[in-house]
Structure 1
Amino acid sequence: MELPELVRKCAEKELFSYCEGKVPPCFRNEVRVSFCIDGEAVTLFEERITLANPADWSSRPVAQFRFQPELNQWSLHYPVSRDCWRLYLNAGPTLNLKNLLRAVDEDPFQSFWQ
C-alpha cells in the first residue's frame, strides 16, 4: 500500500529539510543523507564516497519510519541488519514525523548514527 498523497508530501518536505540540514556544505562531496519511500515505509540512509573509487557512493540504512494508516501515525525502527528492522522503543508512535527525526538525533543508545 502507498502513503496517502498528503502524508507523502508532508513527509517529503520534512525529510528533504532534514537531509539538507544534516551535513554541512563543506562535507557534502564526501557524505550525504538521503531517503527512499517504499509503500508505507520511509528509509533514511547515510551515503559516503568509497575509498576505492571516489566517484562511487556506498549507503547504509540509518532509520526507518513506518506509517500506520489505521492510526494515522508514524513509528520508528532501527536497523539490525541491512534488511531487518526493530521497533525503537524509546520513541512511541506519533502523528508528527519531526518528533521521530528528533529521536533519531537524540538517541542515547546509538541505534542509528553509529
Structure 2
Amino acid sequence: MAIPDDIRNMAENLIGVFCRSTWPQHGGSAHALSYSVRGDGVTVFEMSANGMGRYGNLPIARFKYAEGLWSLWQVGRNGKWLAYMGQMPTENLMRLIQALKDDPEGVFGLR
C-alpha cells in the first residue's frame, strides 16, 4: 500500500535533508546520498561516480511505513532487506533517521 501523500511529503522532506547533509562531511564530491519512494517505503542509496563519470546506486537503508508506524531496514549479506534490530517501529521518523545517521553497529556504512 502506498504511503499517504501528506506523510510521504513529510518523509521526503526529512530524508532529503538527511541525504543532502550527510555526504559533504563523509564522501566528498564523488559520493552522494539520494532516495526513492516506492509503494510503502523510502529507500536511501549511495550514488558513487565511477571513473567514467557515471553513477552507480547502492541501497543502504529503507524506511517502511505501515499502520501509522515507520520501521528501519538494512541490507543483509545476501542483498535482501532485514529489519534493523537497533530501533523498534515508531511514529517518529526522525528517530529512525538519527539511528541511520549514528549507525552505532556500522551496518549502514555511514561511519
Note the 1:26-37 alignment, pairs <5 A.
27-28=28-29, 30-37=30-37
**1:95 correspondence with 2:95:** no
Cα distance in 2, alignment partners of residues 105 and 82 from structure 1: 23
Paired residue for 1:24?
24
| Aligned position for 2:64 | 66
Length-normalised TM-score, structure 2: 0.89
Q: What's the CA shift for 1:105?
A: 1.8
2:76 pairs with 1:80: yes
Cα drift, residue 83 of structure 1: 4.8
* Runs of 4+ off more than 2 Å: 25-28
TM-score, normalised to structure 1's length?
0.87
Percent identity, aligned pairs only? 28
Q: Which runs of 5+ in 1 are unaligned?
A: none
- State the match for 1:57 in structure 2: 55
SS at match of 1:103: helix
Name the counterpart of 1:13: 13
1:107 Cα deviation (Å)?
A: 2.1
State the 1:113 CA deviation: 1.1
Cα-to-partner distance string for 1:37-59 (whole Å, 9 max, x where unaligned): 010111000111013x1x20011
Q: Counterparts of 2:80 and 2:50 in 1: how far apart (Å)?
A: 24
Aligned-residue CA RMSD (Å): 1.9
CA distance in 2, matches of 1:10, 1:82: 31
Q: Distance in 1 between matches of 2:82 and 2:28?
A: 30
